Amino acid sequence: MAIKKRVVGLSGDKSTTQGNKNIQSSNSNSKSMWTEISRHIMTGISYMIPVLIMGGLIGAFSQIIPYVILGIDPSLSITDALATGEFVGFNETLLKLADIMASFGFTLFGFAIPIFAAYTANSIGGKTALIAGFIGGYVANNPIGRLKLVDGSWETVTPVASGFLGGIIIAFAVGYFVKWLNEKIQLPHNWLAFKSTFLIPLLSALFTLIAMIYIVTPIGGVVNNGIKNLLQSAGKTGEMVYAIILSATTAFDLGGPVNKAAGFVATAFTIEKTLPITARVIAIVTPSIGLGLSTLIDEKLVGRRVYDKQFYQAGKTSIFLAFMGISEGAIPFALERPGFVIPLYVICSVIGSVTAVALGAEQWFPESAIWAWPLVDGIIPYIIGLAVGSILIAVINVLYRNRLIKKGELEIL
């Protein structure tokens, strides 16, 4: 009996060992897959960061000239300031330069997602995927209109943009599609040029067209319209509920379609003097300040760097842009780990905005840049709310990334 028990025990040990091996293999595969995904995303981000920095700095200086150097009332646009006739000579030249810089700088922002999608797709599928990825990223920002029958006549209807989430989806979709095509389409050596310069680019472009028009953009439109309708329906149910929904939708996609829908609704309520825009102006900049701040405090908080080196310059730029009222500086951080970072900054932006509103901050002027702060009623509660949301984002993100590093799930270059 003792021998039998020993045999059973050995058999059980073998089964347990095999099970442990299977679990380890599964965990290894999961880590390997996530490492590959992270590598592709980081490649796209590394090419996108210079575009954001260039566009952001030029756009920021275009606002510094009129509102800081010339001291124009923040409620006036550059065009309105020129129309007053009060600015002549050198000051008029500065305003015209600021207007050109604003157009140029914010146009550059429009290339951030296409560049990200292009180089992410290139990282996956090679050079032949680069242009298709760029096209997909461009369409994510500028959706293609479709003919629809409206009241008996055909009209071109432009759908809601899918934004940077659409850019992520199409980058991976087209990247792996091109990779699959390269593996499956085997042609004689004399036909390789035809394959790489005509056949695969054509198929990848058609794939991008179909995916963006019939899958990515419609899904993004449904989500974004749902959030917009929720925002509209909640706008009259109380200032605190309104602040929660407005700040969440404003922060969500960092200047994307949901943010713009929130801005449209909030501005309408503000113009009508129905509800203030306090929660929105705080939520515009909280993610950028918080994520930028996390690159400044990581070594002090956990004793090590928790980001790749390229993020440290991006972090400083993100903070600078935030004080200029620009939220796009946080996009690289959101794209790197969207599953954690987006919910984090949305929740913390809500906490910061609600804190400010609850303490008595009130703003009716729709501008979040630092030169609009004198127009805030209750600037101390306003700054407290901004600080609470930003510090929460920074601390939680640093601790999260440090835990991933300890577990071997995140490698820092």
Give me the mean pLDDT over the 66-92 stretch: 87
Confidence of residue 177 (pLDDT cuts 50, 70, 90): very high
Helix axes 278-302, 310-323, angle to 10 degrees: 150
- Is beta strand 146-150 parallel, antiparallel or unpaired with respect to 153-157? antiparallel
Confidence of residue 227 (pLDDT cuts 50, 70, 90): low
Q: Kindly tell me if the per-residue pLDDT of 144 is higher than 60.
A: yes
CA-closest candidate to residue 387, choices 367, 407, 361? 361
Alpha-carbon Rg of the chain, whole angstroms? Answer: 25
247-291: per-residue pLDDT in tens?
A: 998 999 888 878 887 887 787 677 667 788 999 999 999 999 999
| pLDDT at position 19 | 53
In the DSSP assignment, the letter for residue 362 is B
| pLDDT at position 118 | 96
In angstroms, rounded to a whole number, what is the distance separating the alpha carbons of residues 156 and 375?
42
Residue entry with tokens 């899958």: 215
| pLDDT at position 179 | 94
Confidence of residue 8 (pLDDT cuts 50, 70, 90): very low
Q: Which of 19-33, 67-81, 294-308, 325-339 has the highest mean pLDDT?
A: 294-308
Give me the mean pLDDT over the 177-194 stretch: 89
Helix (H) or strand (E) holding 148: strand 146-150
Residues 295/315, Cβ–Cβ less than 8 Å: yes
285-328: per-residue pLDDT in tens?
A: 999 999 999 999 999 999 999 999 889 999 999 999 999 888 98
Higher per-residue confidence, 17 vs 104: 104
- The percent of residues in the chain predicted with pLDDT above 90, rounded, is 43
197-206: per-residue pLDDT in tens?
A: 899 999 999 9
Cα–Cα distances (Å) from 93 to 70, 80, 96, in that order, read 12, 15, 5
- The percent of residues in the chain predicted with pLDDT above 70, rounded, is 88
Confidence of residue 413 (pLDDT cuts 50, 70, 90): confident
**Tokens describing residue 347:** 């929740």
Give me the mean pLDDT over the 46-71 stretch: 86
Confidence of residue 237 (pLDDT cuts 50, 70, 90): low
| pLDDT at position 98 | 92
Confidence of residue 52 (pLDDT cuts 50, 70, 90): confident
Q: Kindly tell me if the per-residue pLDDT of 26 is higher than 60.
A: no
| pLDDT at position 346 | 96
Whole-model pTM above 0.85? Answer: no
Q: Kindly tell me if the per-residue pLDDT of 24 is higher than 80.
A: no
Q: Kindly tell me if the per-residue pLDDT of 148 is higher than 70.
A: yes
**Residue at 27: amino acid letter:** N
147 φ/ψ angles, rounded to the nearest 5 degrees: -70, 130
In angstroms, rounded to a whole number, what is the distance separating the alpha carbons of residues 102 and 61?
8
In angstroms, rounded to a whole number, what is the distance separating the alpha carbons of residues 177 and 180?
5
**Tokens describing residue 177:** 């599609």
Rounded to the nearest integer, the mean pLDDT of the chain is 85
Residues 244/257, Cβ–Cβ less than 8 Å: no
**Cβ neighbour number for residue 230 with a 10 Å cutoff:** 13
In angstroms, rounded to a whole number, what is the distance separating the alpha carbons of residues 274 and 301?
43
